[in-house]
C-alpha cells in the first residue's frame, strides 16, 4: 500500500497542544476538583448511573471525576478517553479503576465495543467537529444507550468564558439546550431532559431500544 502523502494528513487540532500545556496544572488552575465532586454528589440521582452500566467518558482530562464514575457503575466498566497525551498521563497516574485511552472523538473509528452511557463532562464544546463527535458517540452506544452532556455552568456563561480565554478554545461553543433536539434528530436520538441555567447544563438523550425504528436508525448510522 502506498504511504499517505504528508499533504493528505489533516492538520493537528491546536487544542491538543493547548490541553497538553494545561495538563500539569489543570487540577489547580481549572475548576476546583473538590467543588466539582460535591456538585456531582448533588446531581447523582439525576444522572441515573447504576451498578453494572458500562460508561465511556469522553474528554476525561486529568481524570478528576473518573474514579467517582467508576464507583457508581461498578461492576460495570469505565473507559476514559482524551486526545491530549498530557491530560491522559495525569489521569493514568491517579490509579483509579478505569481504562484510559488516547482517542479523538471527532475521528471515525469502527466501534470495537459499545457502552450503555457516554458522558461528556466539561468537554463537548471543545470537540472541533460536534456533528462528527455525535455521530461517533451514537455508534458507540448500545441500543437504548444514553448520552449525558454535563457542565457545572450554563451554556451562555461558558461560551463567554471561552471567548475571554481566547486562543485555540476562543470559539469553542456549547450549543444552548434548545438546539439539541435538532442536532440529535439525524441520529435518531431523543432528548430526555435539557437543563440550561446559569449554574448547570444537563443534557440527557437516548438512542431507541432495539426496535424496528432503532434498526432503521442503526442502518442510517452505518451509512452516515
Ligand X SMILES: C[S@@+](CC[C@H](N)C(=O)[O-])C[C@H]1O[C@@H](n2cnc3c(N)ncnc32)[C@H](O)[C@@H]1O
**From the CB of 146, what's the least distance to ligand X, in Å?**
18
Q: H or E segment at 121?
A: strand 115-121
**From the CB of 57, what's the least distance to ligand X, in Å?**
7
Q: For 182-215, give the DSSP string.
A: HHHGGGT-EEEEEEEETTEEEEEEEPPPSSHHHH
**From the CB of 203, what's the least distance to ligand X, in Å?**
15
Number of residues that bind ligand X (CB under 6 A): 23
Q: How far apart are CA 105 and CA 202, in angstroms?
A: 20
The whole-angstrom distance between residue 47's C-alpha and the CA centroid of its chain comes to 14
Q: Which is nearer to ligand X, 23 or 217 (CB)?
A: 23
* Binding pattern for the stretch 125-144 against ligand X, x by CB under 6 A and - elsewhere: -xx-----------------
Q: Of 83, 100, 115, 180, which one interacts with ligand X (CB under 6 A)?
A: 83
Report which residue's Cβ sits closest to ligand X: 61
Cell of 96: 483509579
**From the CB of 213, what's the least distance to ligand X, in Å?**
29
Q: Of 56, 69, 79, 105, which one interacts with ligand X (CB under 6 A)?
A: 105
Q: Which is nearer to ligand X, 160 or 209 (CB)?
A: 160
Q: Which of residues 51-70 bind ligand X (CB under 6 A)?
A: 58-62, 64
In the sheet with 190-197, reading across from the earlier edge strand, the strands are: 99-102, 78-82, 55-58, 115-121, 141-151, 200-206, 190-197
**From the CB of 63, what's the least distance to ligand X, in Å?**
8
Q: Which is nearer to ligand X, 121 or 201 (CB)?
A: 121
Residue 32's closest CA among 65, 73, 1, 4? 65
Q: How far apart are CA 134 and CA 55, in angstroms?
A: 16
Please tell me whether residue 172 binds ligand X under the rule CB under 6 A.
no
Q: Which of residues 108-127 bind ligand X (CB under 6 A)?
A: 121-123, 126-127
Cell of 15: 487544542
Q: Is the peptide bond before 75 cis (omega within 30 degrees of 0)?
A: yes
Please tell me whether residue 87 binds ligand X under the rule CB under 6 A.
yes
Helices 66-73 & 33-47 angle (0-180, nearest 10):
30
Q: Which is nearer to ligand X, 120 or 217 (CB)?
A: 120
> Which residues bind to ligand X, rule: CB under 6 A?
15, 19, 30, 58-62, 64, 81-84, 87, 103-106, 121-123, 126-127
Amino acid at each position: 500500500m502506498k504511504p499517505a502523502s504528508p499533504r493528505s494528513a489533516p492538520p493537528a487540532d491546536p487544542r491538543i497542544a493547548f490541553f497538553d500545556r494545561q495538563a500539569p496544572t489543570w487540577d489547580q488552575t481549572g475548576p476546583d476538583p473538590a467543588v466539582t465532586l460535591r456538585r456531582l454528589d448533588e446531581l447523582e440521582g439525576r444522572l441515573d448511573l447504576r451498578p453494572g452500566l458500562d460508561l465511556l467518558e469522553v474528554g476525561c482530562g486529568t481524570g478528576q471525576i473518573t474514579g467517582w464514575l467508576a464507583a457508581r457503575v461498578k461492576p460495570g466498566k469505565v473507559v476514559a478517553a482524551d486526545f491530549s497525551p498530557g491530560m491522559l498521563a495525569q489521569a493514568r497516574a491517579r490509579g483509579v479503576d478505569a481504562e484510559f485511552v488516547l482517542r479523538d472523538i471527532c475521528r471515525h473509528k469502527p466501534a470495537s465495543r459499545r457502552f450503555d452511557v457516554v458522558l461528556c463532562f466539561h468537554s463537548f464544546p471543545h470537540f472541533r467537529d460536534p456533528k462528527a463527535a455525535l455521530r461517533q458517540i451514537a455508534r458507540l452506544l448500545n441500543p437504548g444507550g444514553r448520552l449525558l452532556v454535563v457542565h457545572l455552568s450554563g451554556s451562555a456563561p461558558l461560551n463567554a468564558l471561552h471567548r475571554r480565554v481566547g486562543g485555540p478554545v476562543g470559539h469553542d461553543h456549547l450549543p444552548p439546550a434548545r438546539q439539541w433536539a435538532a442536532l440529535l434528530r439525524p441520529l435518531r436520538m431523543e432528548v430526555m431532559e435539557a437543563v440550561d441555567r446559569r449554574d448547570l447544563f444537563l443534557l440527557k438523550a437516548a438512542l431507541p431500544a432495539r426496535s424496528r425504528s432503532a434498526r432503521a436508525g442503526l442502518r442510517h448510522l452505518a451509512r452516515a
